[in-house]
Amino acid sequence: MKRVLFTAASGLAMSLSMPAAVNAQEAEMTTNGEMTSAETNPLLAEWTGPFEGVPPWDQMAPEYFPGAFEAAMEEMRAEVQAVIDNPEPATFDNTNRPMELIGETMGRVQAMFGVAVSNISNDEYRAVQAEWAPRLAAFYQQLYLQPELIERYRTVYENLDESDLTDEQRRLATRDYEQLQRNGALLEGEDRERLSEITQELASLYSEFSNKVLADEETYILLDSEDDLAGLPDSFVSTLRGAAEEREVEGWAVVNTRSYMQPFLQNSTRRDLREQVYNAYINRGDNGDENDTNATIAQILQLRAERAALLGFETHAHWRMADTMAQTPENAEDLMMRVWPAAVARVEQEVADMQAIADREGAGITIEPWDYRFYAEKVRQDRYSIDESEITPYFQLENMIEAMFWAAGQLYDLEFTENTGDVPVFQEDVRTFVVTDSRDGSNVGLFYLDNYARTGKRSGAWMTTYRSQQTLGGEQNVLASNNNNFTEPAAGEVALISLDDASTLFHEFGHGIHYLLQDVYYPGLSGTPRDFVEYPSQVNENWLLTRAILDRFATHYETGEPMPQALVDRIEESSTFNEGFATVEYLSSAIVDMRLHNRTEPVTDVDAFERETLAEIGMPEEIVMRHRLPQFNHLFSSDAYSAGYYSYLWSETMDADTWEAFEETGDVWNREVADRFREYLLSTGNETDRAEAYRQFRGRDPDVDALLRKRGFPVPAEGDTTD
C-alpha cells in the first residue's frame, strides 16, 4: 500500500511508493527463517484490537526488526511479481490499481520503526537503522525500477488518450509514470547500477548524520550553583533539576536541545551562561569531534549532485522541485527575496530598541546573538507591559490541548475523547484520544499525543500517521500522532508552556486535522507537494490567539481565573512583535538551503559556504540561522526538505491569504469558509492540482501581500518593486 510516513529524518515525509532499492545480490536474498513469521515475530502480525487494529507497541523490540524487514520485503517482491507476471496487456486495473495496495506488512513495520528511531531511540535501534537504511533503500529502488514493471506503467500512460479512465485515474497514472521517470526508470546498465549505489550510500549517510546530531543533543551543561539559576522561572528550574536527576548528576542540567536553550536564553540574567548555552546549541555537529557532520554533509552534497546529473536534472534543487507548487528554484527564491529585505529592516529596528534598553540600564554591552531573546523580552515588557513570565501561567498544557480539540469541533465537527481502553503505547506518558464525527457519531480514528522531551527522542516537533485514510483498500480508522518536545514538569506540578510552544501545539495539530479529514480513494493521491504540506498546519495556528480560545482556555494555573482582558489586548497588540527575528532566523536557513542545492558544483567546505552566503545576503550579525547546516536535520536526515525548506514560506503565503478569507466575513469561525476550506483543500489530498484547488477555494491565486501584512511588514505600493 502506498502510504506516507514521517520518518526519523525530522518528521519529514517519505513516500514508500517510490523509494530506493536492492542491488542484484540483495534481490536474491532469502529469509533465514528466524523471526520472519507472525508466529515468531509480533511485528509481522496483523494489528488487532479496537479501531480496526492498533500497533502493538508493548511487543516492539530492536531484535524483531531485521526479521520483520526481511519477511516484508519478500512479501512485496511476490506482490510486485504477480503484477509483472499478469499475461494480459497492461491496463490501469491490472497495473496501477494493484500496485496501490502492495506492502501492507512493510507499511506496518515501517510505521513502528519510525517511532523506534524518532521517539525512543537507543544504541540498539541505531544499530538496526545503520544496517537497514541502505538495505531498504536498495530494495525499493530495485523493486520499482524493474524494466518489466516500468513497461507496464508506460503502456498505461501512453494509452491514456484512448482510455475511458476517470480524471482521478488519469492523474494517478500520469503521476505514477512521471515519478518513475524522475527516479531513474529510463536509466540502463552502468547508470542504473550507479544510481542504486548512490541511493544506498545516501541512506547510510542520512542515518549517520541523524545519529551524530542526536548524540550532540544528548549532551548538557551542568549548573552547580544557585547563582547560576538567576532569572529562571521556578518551573524551569524544576525541569533542569529533573534533567540532572535523570542523568544521575548533582545540580541542574541544561540539555542541548531547543526546548532547554530557548527558555534559558530568554530568562537567564547570567550573560556568561547565556553565551555558553548558546554556543553549545549552535555548534551541534560542528565541533571537530566524532560527532562533527561537515564531512558527512559534503559527501551527501556530492552524491546528490551526481544523482541529479544522472537523472537528467540541472541541480538537486531542480530534481526536488519538479513536483512542487513552486516548480523551480527561481520561483522559490523570488518569494524569499521579496520578504527578506523587509525582515532585515525590521531586525535593525528590533536591535536598536534592545540596545537602547541595555544602554539605559547601564549594561555596558553591545547586543550579541545570546542577548537577543533576553532583551527582546525586556522590549516587550517596556512597550506592551508584558513578558513571557506573565503569559505562561495562563498557558496550561492541558488547557491548550482542550482548546485545540474544541476548535477542531467548532470548525470541522471533530470530537476528541480521551481513550481509557487497553490501547498499547510506546511510552507511558503517551496519551490516546478517540476521534469521532460529531454529526453522526461515526469513528474517524485514534489520535496519539506524545508531548514531552526525553533521552532518545529527537528534537523538534512533528506529526506522523501510523495508518492513513484511503478507500481503495477499504475504509480504515486513521491512526495519527503528534510529537512535541515540551519540558516535562516536576512531579506534582502543572505543565506550563510558552506562547511559542502553544503555537507549536496548534501547528502540529493542524497536520493531524489534515490527515483526519482526508477523503481520498487512491492512496497514491493522498500525499501533497512539499510546499503545500505545511499550509494546513500554519492555518491552524491562527485560532490560538482568538478571543474564543483565550477567554475559554487561558486560565491561571493557580487561581483558575481567566486571562484578564487587558492582557489579552496586550497580546493582540504585540502579535507582530519580534517578527524580524522570527523571519530572519527562518528565512536565512531557507535561502542557504536553496543556494546550497541550486548549483552544479557541490560545496565541499560547508562552514565557509554558510558564512559566505549569509554575508552575501546581509545576515544581521545579532542572529544565527534557525538551523545551521551542521545540525540541519530537515536537509540531511533524508531528501525530504532538501531544497524545500522554503516551503514554510510558500505555505504561509496561502495561510495568510486564507486567514484573511475568514477575517473578511467578520467571524473567524465562519462555517461557510471552513466548509469550503475543508472541501477543496483539506479533504482532497492530491486528487487535483493544488494551485487549482486553492483557486476553487479562494476564487483567485493567493495574495503575497497578505503574508507581509500578517508579519507586520510594509506592503509595497502598487507599481513599487523590492530590491
- Give me the sign of the Cα torsion angle 8, 12, 17, 19: negative
Sheet of strand 443-452: strand arrangement: 414-418, 431-437, 443-452, 478-486, 462-467
Instruction: Give the separation between CA 445 and CA 505, rounded to whole angstroms.
Output: 19
Instruction: Give the separation between CA 678 and CA 671, rounded to whole angstroms.
Output: 10
> In a 10 Å sphere around its CB, with 0-12 CB exposed, 13-18 middle and 19+ buried, how is residue 323 labelled?
middle
Instruction: Give the separation between CA 91 and CA 173, rounded to whole angstroms.
Output: 10
Q: Which residues pair with 54 in a beta bridge?
A: 48
* Contact of 332 with 704, CB cutoff 8 Å: no
Instruction: Give the separation between CA 642 and CA 659, rounded to whole angstroms.
Output: 28
* Contact of 286 with 628, CB cutoff 8 Å: yes
* Contact of 306 with 299, CB cutoff 8 Å: no
Torsion from C-alpha of 230, 244, 9, 416, nearest 10 degrees: -80
Would you give the DSSP letter of residue 562?
Answer: B
Backbone angles phi, psi at 398, to 5 degrees: -60, -40
**Measured CA distances, 41 to 65, 139, 377 (Å):** 9, 21, 54
Nearest to 230 by CA among 271, 275, 262, 260: 271
Grid cell 528590533 — which residue?
350
Q: Which residues contact 50 (CB under 8 A, 6 or more apart)?
A: 421, 423, 446
Q: Which residues contact 18 (CB under 8 A, 6 or more apart)?
A: 140, 144, 179, 180, 183
Nearest to 185 by CA among 137, 152, 156: 152
* Contact of 106 with 72, CB cutoff 8 Å: yes
Residue 516: other Cβ atoms inside 10 A: 25
If phi > 0 it is left, if psi is from -120 to 50 it is alpha, else beta; for residue 414 that is: beta
Instruction: Give the separation between CA 108 and CA 52, rounded to whole angstroms.
Output: 13
Structure-block grid coordinates of residue 171 = 492523474
Instruction: Give the separation between CA 12 and CA 650, rounded to whole angstroms.
Output: 17
Residues counted in the chain: 723
Instruction: Supply the residues annotated as catalytic.
Output: 508
Instruction: Give the separation between CA 67 and CA 195, rounded to whole angstroms.
Output: 26
Strands (E), 453-514: 462-467, 478-486
**Measured CA distances, 694 to 327, 532, 661, 676, 710 (Å):** 16, 10, 12, 10, 19
Structure-block grid coordinates of residue 640 = 525530504
- Amino acid letter, 586: Y
Grid cell 533521552 — which residue?
455
* Contact of 392 with 498, CB cutoff 8 Å: yes
Instruction: Give the separation between CA 590 and CA 684, rounded to whole angstroms.
Output: 28
* Contact of 6 with 463, CB cutoff 8 Å: yes
Nearest to 540 by CA among 410, 705, 443, 437: 410
Torsion from C-alpha of 663, 668, 672, 676, nearest 10 degrees: 80
> Residue 455 in 3-state DSSP?
coil
